[in-house]
Structure 1
């Protein structure tokens, strides 16, 4: 059946607290305090913007100084450090510069920075500079290379794997989205054979130098004058895969593994419409009979819908086990009831197969039978419109109907023994929420219905609304990314035919939608319906989805049950995503696979944390092996710490966080009767313990004063903005996207 609708102790504690404060004060008097904030000196280029974006994504506090701002503060010793409670304080735990010296020869600002870094053991990233002796490298010649790096196969060195990039398997491939357009540029050079006394250069990421047997550094640590610089000799932007692979390591190296915020790789796959029969794309009509986008009239009936079989369920369960991954079925119990009615039986084989393997999957309420629960639709016209009353006001689906759809599905799931979280929901087609252009506001009956049914999390379309938002006072959205594996395609040829219709010009036989959309690109020619899926759509969708996975982005992707039936077109994409990921990342950085409620809570916590950081309401600092962080009441603290770190309470301690990528990460709140989170570090370096002598500081400052200002590094066209990977890649801009009918 086709579905036309898609849619007494306190006193003692006080004494202990006072004792703890006295101990901290005595300890602080003898050691440096390092504030957990990063200084970013921004030249407006893509490399510093990329590192800033990573800090923002992780939730790591930072301060930006724009070189182009005539009113910016001058970097002086007083700007960088002062004294708190009798102890020297470093106001920044790391420094990001556009290159090794963006201020010029004799700059007092660079002198101040060099002395500061040497005194407090603060590290510096040179976001993008060219190879030359001033950064510990030979000129990029004999052997050396300068030019496009598109398609280059970079690699993490042994030192890099033992250091900040130990979460990678070792390969760092550079993207090559278009052989005719260079999107990455850089320099490959070898370390100087003779360095200043006490200096060293350690390549962390390198690549073969063309025309030579030597390898050139792409990312290396230059240790000199009691300072450490991360020297990066290729340009990048925040979206490119080669940067995404290294971004976490940049921050970990800069902060010496101790910082606020964290970075993980997430993937969740929601499979919508379980138990329904999805309508099928008609390759002749170029629409989907039974769907509101297909003009009414002859031929507008789908007599061949797509529905999973018991065999399809078994295949999926086996695939999950082989890949250590769990999908989330968004289910509609009404679909099973309809199937039984249409087939004059009391047993649905698909339901029985799901019940037999229910422990293999997660389940999300998708309403009873997938109605559109926004305004009442007038489907007699295409595109559909909201029905209006005699006064011209929109007519809305009422609250009782919405609650009935939610509750009936929950009751049925419990009767069938399907494990669900009743606080989770995905409405059919994300309906009830804003649906532009027809419905610019939420259904006013939606929020009270969700509150009455105890719904805390409801899915939304990330291509329309990328950010989490409240729906009334009780519910938050969980934005989901639509995949271009269409709901109305069970066979590969149907998928490619619809893809061609959406993404080719009218002159090429397509709809021409791509010609009028600012967020889409037309294909040069239609894809071959036999080979186009594997050769073009799968690689493209893999790249887009991996972009989400590698961007510390927990928002889920969604496809449909139809994609696991018939030709099972979901698997090539999922296999490609997981296979590519496993080739790039080490076992200590597995994909984090959360259910909807966990994703919603993660987004909610991040929002509160980021707001507090932006408002300057978070204070974090390190003194020796002790870290103290204070945030507003009710805001949990997000942090990355070394292995072995513990949270210290007034009485006792407990392990901090959970292991990921060779570190400990997690959310944490103050213990009883504590106003701050207090951590004791495990395996970590101690920058304040390596305070440089006065001669060393003077030498570092002298070297900085005498450094020549490097010429402006070459930035190829296209790298200062998001680089799309082809038609359908609308996520790079984060400004919304064209959402084809088939992606619903």
Structure 2
């Protein structure tokens, strides 16, 4: 039988003519069914089904979760799954996700209802993690197969996978191995069973044998299609993140609400200013608030013109644009101290159009409470009569407006509605300042600020402050006060080792810290061998998680030894090794990131409120929403919104946002050929035996300790 990729354009009328409905035979002239754009996720609480549910949640794809452990859950029967609407058959789910191929007791009527439903409406089923055996089209994973750890294995997408749902990948799917002391994955590797209509999409070599076994494949039988996954994973592991898009595309036949892209933006703070250097003897930063007043001598780090040339050359080579958050007084003060000369600012201004620029305030002043730095850590100063002494609205406004005016005079390509305050100040920071400066919101409104950066580690949720909406940024563990690798490692050791090892003891005080070290790193090799691989892996994890939030570093990291570049190159090199050319990193500026996050929040609110109805009839998709709501969708190439192509090309599909007056209609491309569906055969009901119990390693349920590998 010819095995072809099933696309979004399955002809429902043909399927109804060839498949048998639970209530009796359908006729060829029966109306095409309405299939709701919603996924049914039947969960046993295990990490695999929860990972798929998380992928749907993040992408904005509607789904209904049924918890098998919930005594009050609905019964999955024909009435739950389907009905009629306006005289036509109505399928309430476009796909079914199960923990395994049969999570119900032997002879279950619920499994039989699911099987009949899938046959009738050509609804695919994903077996999130199941045991390899003939019931799923595979040989048993004994003898010629393998059952065990696949930590560090480099699996491969097969030609069928590349031609089908995983065509956005370059070919390899590396499995994580972050800690040699912890099992992080487990799989059942085996070949297709004799006579089974099984197409492997992702394979790995069977240890000790020249053959390969399937990790992900499609099994067609009895008029049904199953995506059989025989390895366990959680939502964060790289192997799942690489395959998640393809799993969703397969189960929805390429037509679903929501979108998934891979984003990376990097903000460079303090441009034109200087950053104080870490003192390896004092274990603090002279000139900054972590050193007692008068202790040590400040030793500033500031870029030079050659660093600008390196940055522009790097951008050209990588096809990537940095966002520069600048403090104009860094140049003004430098000119005052150097007879009017500032070669760095002159170079940046000459190359201004090579970067994106963001207002970072004029002097980088702290815009929250007035800080009492006579103690470490600092505290908020109080007024004589009591109460917090806040930086005033006029001072905040001057910092914003003066920096903006300098940028306009220098003809920087700014957006006036973006702002990064120094140290994200003005926003709440625990424990010293648990609330926003009350003068911040009015100052932002007065200056027309729409997008305000926040620190994701302490203020992750998008929220409104005056006229502005926050955009949280991920801090990279490439420190602002380090221009050389040895300084970075020394400070890293101080933070992440125990007091007995000469460190700060933060890990003893907070066991939840995940980057703790068993022993100090070698200052000569620790940066390249530990910190760079670890930070690369963490940042790449954000990129693969459909997360548009930017990362931030500092100008000091582009100066001297330019220690940021190995991490950035590590992320981009890894990405290029993993993805095909049609799936590039999406590099947005802050306002566009804020818009994406705001749209997602509004969409999620509408979904949670039950305000979205979406369905497909044949090649027509209808989405009904409150007026003015932006709708995210992923559809095949050739889909039209009116007379124009929907969305933009990404990962072999079209995706994007469209706003309608309450009803959005999309016209899908017609199928090129009749659907290739396996003819019904054998039993008309589900297998009587439930799936055997599979193994889940501890590190899949609880994350493994952070390490440099991966």
TM-superposed deviation, 1:586? 0.6
Counterparts in 2 of 1:184 and 1:684: CA distance versus 1, 3 Å: farther
Q: Give 2:226's match in structure 1, choosing from 220, 226, 229.
A: 229
**Partner residue in 2 for 1:666:** 656
**Partner residue in 1 for 2:8:** none
**Partner residue in 1 for 2:14:** none
Q: Is the Cα–Cα contact under 8 Å of residues 472 and 549 in structure 2 kept in the other structure?
A: yes
- 2:683 is the alignment partner of 1:725: no
Q: Give 1:267's match in structure 2, choosing from 264, 268, 272.
A: 264
TM-superposed deviation, 1:247? 0.5
**Partner residue in 2 for 1:295:** 292
**Partner residue in 2 for 1:391:** 385
- 2:517 is the alignment partner of 1:520: no
**Partner residue in 2 for 1:12:** none
Task: Report the Cα distance in structure 2 between the residues aligned to 1:682 and 1:207, rounded to whole angstroms.
Answer: 35
**Partner residue in 1 for 2:571:** 577
**Partner residue in 2 for 1:614:** 608
**Partner residue in 2 for 1:68:** 69
TM-superposed deviation, 1:630? 1.3
Q: Structure 2-normalised TM-score?
A: 0.94
**Partner residue in 1 for 2:9:** none
Counterparts of 1:694-733 in structure 2, within 5 Å, are 696=680, 701-702=684-685, 704=686, 706-726=687-707
TM-superposed deviation, 1:518? 3.7
Q: Give 2:327's match in structure 1, choosing from 320, 328, 332.
A: 332
Task: Report the Cα distance in structure 2 between the residues aligned to 1:510 and 1:683, rounded to whole angstroms.
Answer: 65
Unaligned runs of 5+ in 1: 1-27, 730-744
TM-superposed deviation, 1:692? 9.2
Q: Is the Cα–Cα contact under 8 Å of residues 329 and 364 in structure 1 kept in the other structure?
A: yes
Counterparts of 1:447-486 in structure 2, within 5 Å, are 447-472=441-466, 474-486=467-479
Task: Report the Cα distance in structure 2 between the residues aligned to 1:177 and 1:690, rounded to whole angstroms.
Answer: 42
Task: Report the Cα distance in structure 1 between the residues aligned to 2:704 and 2:91, rounded to whole angstroms.
Answer: 37
Task: Report the Cα distance in structure 1 between the residues aligned to 2:677 and 2:178, rounded to whole angstroms.
Answer: 46
TM-superposed deviation, 1:74? 0.3
Q: Is the Cα–Cα contact under 8 Å of residues 281 and 498 in structure 1 kept in the other structure?
A: yes
**Partner residue in 2 for 1:342:** 337
Counterparts in 2 of 1:720 and 1:88: CA distance versus 1, 3 Å: same
Task: Report the Cα distance in structure 2 between the residues aligned to 1:699 and 1:511, rounded to whole angstroms.
Answer: 67
Task: Report the Cα distance in structure 1 between the residues aligned to 2:394 and 2:671, rounded to whole angstroms.
Answer: 58
More off after superposition, 463-472 vs 479-488: 463-472
More off after superposition, 463-472 vs 314-323: 463-472
Q: Is the Cα–Cα contact under 8 Å of residues 119 and 691 in structure 1 kept in the other structure?
A: no
More off after superposition, 421-430 vs 355-364: 355-364
- 2:583 is the alignment partner of 1:589: yes
- 2:496 is the alignment partner of 1:503: yes
Deviations 1:687-717 (A, max 9, x none): 9x78999xx4x95642x0x431122211111
Structure 1 counterpart SS, 2:634: strand
**Partner residue in 2 for 1:366:** 360
Aligned residues: 682
Q: Is the Cα–Cα contact under 8 Å of residues 334 and 369 in structure 1 kept in the other structure?
A: yes
Counterparts of 1:410-559 in structure 2, within 5 Å, are 410-472=404-466, 474-521=467-514, 522-559=516-553
Q: Structure 1-normalised TM-score?
A: 0.90
Structure 2 counterpart SS, 1:719: helix
Q: Is the Cα–Cα contact under 8 Å of residues 495 and 505 in structure 2 kept in the other structure?
A: yes
- 2:239 is the alignment partner of 1:242: yes
Q: Give 2:668's match in structure 1, choosing from 678, 681, 690.
A: 681
Q: Is the Cα–Cα contact under 8 Å of residues 179 and 709 in structure 2 kept in the other structure?
A: no
TM-superposed deviation, 1:685? 8.5
Task: Report the Cα distance in structure 2 between the residues aligned to 1:39 and 1:592, rounded to whole angstroms.
Answer: 30
**Partner residue in 2 for 1:357:** 351
- 2:312 is the alignment partner of 1:317: yes
Structure 2 counterpart SS, 1:536: helix
Q: Is the Cα–Cα contact under 8 Å of residues 46 and 721 in structure 1 kept in the other structure?
A: no
Task: Report the Cα distance in structure 1 between the residues aligned to 2:604 and 2:115, rounded to whole angstroms.
Answer: 30
TM-superposed deviation, 1:686? 10
Task: Report the Cα distance in structure 1 between the residues aligned to 2:275 and 2:378, rounded to whole angstroms.
Answer: 19
TM-superposed deviation, 1:348? 1.3
Deviations 1:141-193 (A, max 9, x none): 23110011101110000000001100000000111111121110111000012
CA-atom RMSD in angstroms: 1.8
TM-superposed deviation, 1:611? 0.9
Counterparts in 2 of 1:668 and 1:685: CA distance versus 1, 3 Å: farther
Structure 1 counterpart SS, 2:416: coil
Counterparts in 2 of 1:685 and 1:530: CA distance versus 1, 3 Å: farther
Deviations 1:208-229 (A, max 9, x none): 0011111000000001111100
**Partner residue in 2 for 1:55:** 56
Q: Is the Cα–Cα contact under 8 Å of residues 657 and 664 in structure 1 kept in the other structure?
A: yes
**Partner residue in 2 for 1:168:** 169
Task: Report the Cα distance in structure 2 between the residues aligned to 1:583 and 1:49, rounded to whole angstroms.
Answer: 28
Q: Give 2:278's match in structure 1, choosing from 276, 281, 292.
A: 281
Structure 2 counterpart SS, 1:423: strand
Q: Is the Cα–Cα contact under 8 Å of residues 626 and 662 in structure 2 kept in the other structure?
A: no
Unaligned runs of 5+ in 2: 1-28
Task: Report the Cα distance in structure 2 between the residues aligned to 1:386 and 1:686, rounded to whole angstroms.
Answer: 70
- 2:596 is the alignment partner of 1:602: yes
Q: Give 1:208's match in structure 2, choosing from 205, 217, 222.
A: 205
